[in-house]
């Protein structure tokens, strides 16, 4: 109970600091022109302090987590006190290679090939940019703006062995989103804030046909899958999370 009261008192003390929007040490509360920021999901932090207040045992420490499930790094750059440029970035490339792997060709649970080379590779790319404009005065500020995001993805699996090889390629995926948004941001400490937003816009995605090629004893067989696409115009809430923002 004493710990909970102490934390509440500290939060009230931070919130009630000087009205000229500087900390007691003179640090500006609000971001300034030229400041950069990085945003993370605030759920683990809020859960941590909430569990302290209600006396939950075995409370997990806060973690640096993604704002969304797509592992995109989100940040801003303040053009001036009321305008920020937004950016979202993920550049993911990877591959693995295993040798002398047993392969079950016919799916009966028994390895038909005792020594094969197994390779996987893939990529996930997400890029986005937008502009955010603030309204209001004080620690609590409303904001609005627009952004566009594109995504690319795909993967491939190959198996090489004596008298046998296979290549499975997923269909390449392309996605595009353009949205307007409106939200609120509260600066509870110098250059630190909590924010959340709603949006409206359109999104589309397209996935090409997958392709699987198997070669046994010099004879190749190729099987292609179907294509898919989607399109929608709707409201959203950017993953539903409250975000924790750091400016520097």
> What confidence tens digit (pLDDT) does each residue in 17-73 have?
434 578 778 888 999 999 999 988 755 555 545 555 565 566 666 666 666 667 889
Residues 129-142: b if buried by 16+ CB within 10 A, e if exposed: ebebebeeeebebe
117 touches 161 (CB < 8 A): yes
Give the per-residue pLDDT at 3.
46
- Domain hosting 110: range is 2-247
Closest CA to 40 of 161, 153, 195: 195
Could you give the CA distance from residue 104 to residue 108 in angstroms, rounded to a whole number?
Answer: 7
Query: Burial, 90: exposed, middle or buried (Cβ in 10 Å; 0-12, 13-18, 19+)?
Result: middle
Give the pTM.
0.77
**Average of per-residue pLDDT values in the chain:** 84
- Encoded tokens for 126: 């997400």
Give the per-residue pLDDT at 218.
82
174-179 mean pLDDT: 96
> What confidence tens digit (pLDDT) does each residue in 231-242 have?
999 998 765 578
Domains identified in the chain, total number = 1
Among 101-105, 158-162, 169-173, 204-208, the range scoring the smallest mean pLDDT is 101-105
* Element spanning 71, H or E: none
Beta bridge partners of 218: none
Where residue 7 falls among pLDDT bands split at 50, 70, 90? very low
Could you give the CA distance from residue 122 to residue 91 in angstroms, rounded to a whole number?
Answer: 11
Where residue 243 falls among pLDDT bands split at 50, 70, 90? confident
């Amino acid at each position: 109970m004493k710990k909970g009261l102490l934390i509440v008192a500290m939060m009230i003390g931070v919130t009630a600091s000087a009205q000229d929007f500087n900390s007691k040490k003179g640090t500006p509360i609000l971001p300034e022109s030229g400041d950069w920021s990085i945003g993370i999901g605030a759920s683990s932090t809020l859960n941590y302090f909430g569990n302290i207040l209600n006396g939950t045992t075995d409370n997990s420490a806060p973690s640096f987590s993604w704002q969304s499930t797509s592992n995109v790094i989100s940040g801003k750059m303040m053009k001036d006190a009321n305008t920020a440029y937004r950016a979202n970035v993920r550049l993911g490339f990877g591959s693995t290679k295993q040798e002398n792997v047993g392969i079950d060709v016919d799916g009966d649970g028994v390895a038909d090939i005792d020594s094969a080379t197994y390779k996987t590779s893939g990529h996930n790319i997400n890029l986005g940019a937008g502009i955010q404009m603030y309204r209001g005065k004080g620690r609590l500020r409303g904001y609005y703006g627009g952004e566009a995001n594109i995504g690319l993805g795909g993967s491939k699996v190959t198996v090489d062995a004596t008298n046998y090889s296979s290549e499975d390629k997923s269909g390449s995926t392309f996605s595009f989103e353009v949205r307007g948004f409106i939200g609120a941001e509260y600066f509870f400490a110098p250059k630190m804030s909590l924010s959340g937003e709603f949006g409206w816009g359109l999104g589309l995605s397209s996935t090409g046909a997958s392709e699987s090629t198997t070669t046994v004893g010099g004879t190749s067989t190729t099987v292609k899958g179907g294509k898919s696409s989607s399109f929608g115009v709707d409201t959203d809430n950017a993953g539903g999370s409250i975000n924790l923002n750091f400016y520097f």
